[in-house]
A and B are shown apart, each in its own frame.
Chain A
Amino acid sequence: MGAVIQTRGLVKRYDEELAVAGIDLVVERGEIYGLVGPNGAGKTTTMRMLATLLAPTAGQALVCGVDVADDPMEVRRRIGYMPDFWGVYDDLRVWEYLDFFARCYGVPANRRAAMIGELLEIVDLSGKHDAYVESLSRGMRQRLCLAHTLVHDPELLILDEPASGLDPRARVEMREILRALAGMGKTILVSSHILPELGELCTSVGIIDHGRLLRSGRIDEIERSLRAAAVLRIDLLSDPEPVISQLGTDGRVSSVLQVEGGIGTARLEVSFDGGPDEQAALLQTLVQGGHRVAGFSQATSDLEEIFLRVTGSLTDEEETAA
């Protein structure tokens, strides 16, 4: 293991506007790292700096151990980059398109033909070898663009919103391809604002907003760091009011929320400071109290919830500071 991407105090300023405000990012080898944030948060700017398309205003970025400012050419040789918006050369055939980029990366002529065949197989475009790029669907073009990042067998892929504009089926295909690439040992830095998509794909995420990296790490670690208490979901077939009253007297319960349940059931979300033993005891108390409990489980938060809580806490902090 070792960091493939390491940034220290990375800053990008456009005139008066601070797009990236000092990011310290570490992406370990073999990870699929998701950069999460709303539009304008600084994801694209960060990725473009890592891809050597933008010079940092301040700070340092090492990609595969090479400083992006000192030796951008070497960085380019080590990475595959797919921008958020890109075009294709319509008047080329699929193999010519990949052949062109292989030449750009200096792939020897005797390896190009075989490599193009393999890549088309990986991105499931084998049948389109001689088709014109303009005849490909959006999803196919997206996969072709992904294939172009692989022509030189890079260590790191930087993919900016690789699934944007794709239909659900194409998104699933793209996700599977990325998983396969990770299985081949590639480190992948991927951004998206479609959080469930990243939640399913990534091993680690970084939550970025207003140019700052608010949290970074494995999803479950971030979740743990955010929660002092577990959230219990209790589904009731009986009247929830007595249960709410009873829980209100329990010192381990910090809050009780009634949320929309299924037909004929009421759902409570309870912040409960206690481990599995205490949770089992609570369930026992409720059942013994004559309440008809149809469901009792610990809620697992998804990336979307984590994101909202992280960015929400930031907003709260800002409001408090103001």
Chain B
Amino acid sequence: MTAATTATGGTRHGALRELWSSALTIMVKELRSRFRGRRAFLVLTLYLAVLAALAYGMYTVTGPAARNAARLAAEFGDPTVINASARVGQGIFSILSVFQLLLIGFIAPAFTAGAISLEREKQTLDLLIATPIRPAGLVIGKLFSALAFVVLMIVAAIPISALVLMYGGATVDDILRQQAVLFSSAIGFGVIGLFWSALTRRTQTATVLTYSTLLALTIGTLLVWRFWTDVATAAPDNVLQERRTAPEAILYVNPAVAMIEIVANTELEYGDFSDAYNALRPTGAGGEECIGDACLPLPKGRPVPAEPPMPRGGVDLPAGPRALLEPAVDFAVPPDQLALETEFNHFWPRITLTYAVLSVVLTLVAMRLVQPAGTRLHRWRIRRRSSGPERAVPLEAGAGIEEISG
């Protein structure tokens, strides 16, 4: 190794250490503020209470119906009807997955949409930027401290999700997939909030733009996909009126699709959410699945089961309740179907990957946006007229620099 490369390596190492030190400084301050008082603990308690109530509610709603179905199946000897325990488990898993994603979608941006803009509004950003703190460290520190709480919420809810393992109907793999989607969505949603917070002046604007973006990514992409598909199908040259679906990549930014897919794959043919999972079933080998009228494409290469596979059975129940149920049957999916290659043909890994990339890109952009004008690296901020020379414009005053010095 030459001296030059050693020096470069040393500088890079020093810069990384400074970056981490900056991020850590911001995190310590943010976490001190965030976890002070009862607010954080109340939010966490409320979150877990809502999830627990949903799980209990699902249990009370699905339990009797599942037992009846199981009893009838036992009387008429229908082997395709699954046991009651698994149906309860599937119900709980479904509702927890969907609601966790929904709650994370509300909470994660709430922590980040004001991260930078609040500093501007409270006029503390100038004090911060005037220190040697690295703008990148500022953004990372803000992001990590906001996500620390969201991650705590997700992790704290794992024991509630793990209730499913007691009933069956979903496996550890399903819970891991669910967690992967939740984590990547939380990070992605948080970063989107941070990005708008860095770009806009006011927290209110950043919040509105953040939630609008999330709506566009979820409901918006579904509507676009549906509209595209309908228009393509109704095209005059489509004489036979074959279904021409929109590119599935439109849905790669939609974590709701990933979660629906994960939930649907646990239920497949039978379950308490029969409408939902029937709608999500592939329409033959055509490579698409439908929710009501809206059909989603199946990623290419996704294995379409020749016959509806049985949902995975639950663990043995104690003698009392067990007497009301069909014996638990293990219909575990063969391990080869869980191979990574096959797994990537599903929506959820693609959506998770998309969100990882999106998070990195938007974080880098946010870092640029909080660069003070003095560094001369400040180029990307939206050019805007200032109201006067004495106006405090720490981040936007860079506009106009290039026209003379550049």
User: What is the interface of chain A, defined by CB distance below 8 A to chain B?
Assistant: 11-15, 17-20, 39-40, 42-45, 48-49, 51-58, 68-69, 72-73, 76-77, 79, 81, 83-89, 91-92, 96, 100-101, 103-106, 145, 148, 211
Given A96-B32, A105-B131: A39 and B390 within 8 A (CB)?
A: yes
Q: What residues of chain B lie closer than 8 Å to A48, measured between beta carbons?
A: 394, 397
Contact of A69 among B32, B33, B374, B404 (CB under 8 A): B374
Q: What residues of chain B lie closer than 8 Å to A105, measured between beta carbons?
A: 131-132
Contact of B388 among A40, A76, A84 (CB under 8 A): A40
How long is the Cα–Cα vector from A57 to B389 in the complex, in angstroms? 13
Q: What residues of chain A lie closer than 8 Å to B398, measured between beta carbons?
A: 55
Contact of A12 among B36, B130, B389 (CB under 8 A): B389
How long is the Cα–Cα vector from A83 to B129 in the complex, in angstroms? 11
Given A14-B400, A89-B29: A42 and B386 within 8 A (CB)?
A: no
Given A42-B389, A103-B25: A53 and B400 within 8 A (CB)?
A: no
Given A69-B374, A87-B124: A53 and B388 within 8 A (CB)?
A: no
CB distance from A109 to the nearest CB of B (A): 11
Q: What residues of chain B lie closer than 8 Å to A91, measured between beta carbons?
A: 33, 36
**B21 and A81 contacting across the interface, CB-CB below 8 Å:** no
CB distance from A111 to the nearest CB of B (A): 15
**B374 and A106 contacting across the interface, CB-CB below 8 Å:** no
Q: What residues of chain B lie closer than 8 Å to A101, measured between beta carbons?
A: 127, 131
Across the A-B interface, the 3 shortest Cβ-Cβ residue pairs: A19-B389, A52-B374, A87-B122
Q: What residues of chain A lie closer than 8 Å to B324, measured between beta carbons?
A: none
Count B-side interface residues using an 8 Å CB cutoff. Answer: 41
How long is the Cα–Cα vector from A12 to B386 in the complex, in angstroms? 13
CB distance from A116 to the nearest CB of B (A): 15
CB distance from A153 to the nearest CB of B (A): 14
**A100 and B132 contacting across the interface, CB-CB below 8 Å:** no
CB closest chain-A residue, reference B119:
A87
Given A13-B400, A14-B386, A72-B375: A53 and B129 within 8 A (CB)?
A: yes
Given A13-B404, A57-B401: A76 and B131 within 8 A (CB)?
A: yes
CB distance from A164 to the nearest CB of B (A): 13
Q: What residues of chain A lie closer than 8 Å to B174, measured between beta carbons?
A: none
Dominant secondary structure of chain B at its interface with chain A: loop
**A77 and B132 contacting across the interface, CB-CB below 8 Å:** yes
CB distance from A121 to the nearest CB of B (A): 22
CB distance from A74 to the nearest CB of B (A): 8
Task: Specify which of B22, B25, B36, B385 lies most central, judged by the most chain A CB atoms within 10 Å of its CB.
Answer: B25
CB distance from B202 to the nearest CB of A (A): 15
CB distance from A159 to the nearest CB of B (A): 12
Which residues of B (180-229) have their CB < 8 Å from a CB of A? Answer: none
Q: What residues of chain B lie closer than 8 Å to A43, measured between beta carbons?
A: 390
**B29 and A51 contacting across the interface, CB-CB below 8 Å:** no
B373 at the interface (CB under 8 A from A): yes
Q: What residues of chain B lie closer than 8 Å to A73, measured between beta carbons?
A: 132
User: What is the interface of chain B, defined by CB distance below 8 A to chain A?
Assistant: 21-22, 24-25, 28-29, 32-33, 36, 122-124, 126-133, 372-376, 378, 385-386, 388-390, 392-394, 397-401, 404-405
**B385 and A15 contacting across the interface, CB-CB below 8 Å:** yes
CB closest chain-B residue, reference A97:
B29
**B124 and A89 contacting across the interface, CB-CB below 8 Å:** yes
Q: What residues of chain B lie closer than 8 Å to A45, measured between beta carbons?
A: 389-390
Contact of A72 among B32, B374, B385, B399 (CB under 8 A): B374
Contact of B374 among A55, A86, A104 (CB under 8 A): A55
Can you list 27 residue pairs at the A/B interface with Cβ under 8 Å? A14-B389, A14-B400, A17-B388, A19-B388, A19-B390, A43-B390, A45-B390, A49-B374, A52-B375, A53-B394, A53-B397, A54-B374, A55-B373, A55-B375, A56-B405, A58-B405, A79-B130, A86-B123, A89-B29, A89-B124, A91-B36, A96-B29, A101-B131, A104-B22, A105-B131, A106-B21, A148-B127
Q: What residues of chain B lie closer than 8 Å to A39, measured between beta carbons?
A: 390
**A104 and B132 contacting across the interface, CB-CB below 8 Å:** yes
Q: What residues of chain B lie closer than 8 Å to A12, measured between beta carbons?
A: 389
CB distance from A102 to the nearest CB of B (A): 9
**B132 and A55 contacting across the interface, CB-CB below 8 Å:** no
Q: What residues of chain A lie closer than 8 Å to B394, measured between beta carbons?
A: 48, 53-54
**B130 and A81 contacting across the interface, CB-CB below 8 Å:** yes
Contact of B127 among A19, A42, A83 (CB under 8 A): A83
Task: Specify which of A13, A55, A56, A101 lies most central, judged by the most chain B CB atoms within 10 Å of its CB.
Answer: A55
How long is the Cα–Cα vector from A288 to B405 in the complex, in angstroms? 69
How long is the Cα–Cα vector from A69 to B36 in the complex, in angstroms? 39
Q: What residues of chain A lie closer than 8 Å to B385, measured between beta carbons?
A: 15
CB distance from B81 to the nearest CB of A (A): 57
Contact of B405 among A57, A76, A79, A145 (CB under 8 A): A57
Task: Specify which of B25, B132, B385, B404 lies most central, judged by the most chain A CB atoms within 10 Å of its CB.
Answer: B132
**A100 and B389 contacting across the interface, CB-CB below 8 Å:** no
Contact of B400 among A15, A51, A83 (CB under 8 A): A15
CB closest chain-B residue, reference A96:
B32
Q: What residues of chain A lie closer than 8 Å to B392, measured between beta carbons?
A: 44, 83-85
Task: Specify which of B29, B130, B374 lies most central, judged by the most chain A CB atoms within 10 Å of its CB.
Answer: B130
CB distance from B8 to the nearest CB of A (A): 18
**B126 and A83 contacting across the interface, CB-CB below 8 Å:** yes
**A104 and B128 contacting across the interface, CB-CB below 8 Å:** yes
CB distance from B405 to the nearest CB of A (A): 6
**B374 and A17 contacting across the interface, CB-CB below 8 Å:** no
CB distance from B244 to the nearest CB of A (A): 51
How long is the Cα–Cα vector from A88 to B124 in the complex, in angstroms? 6
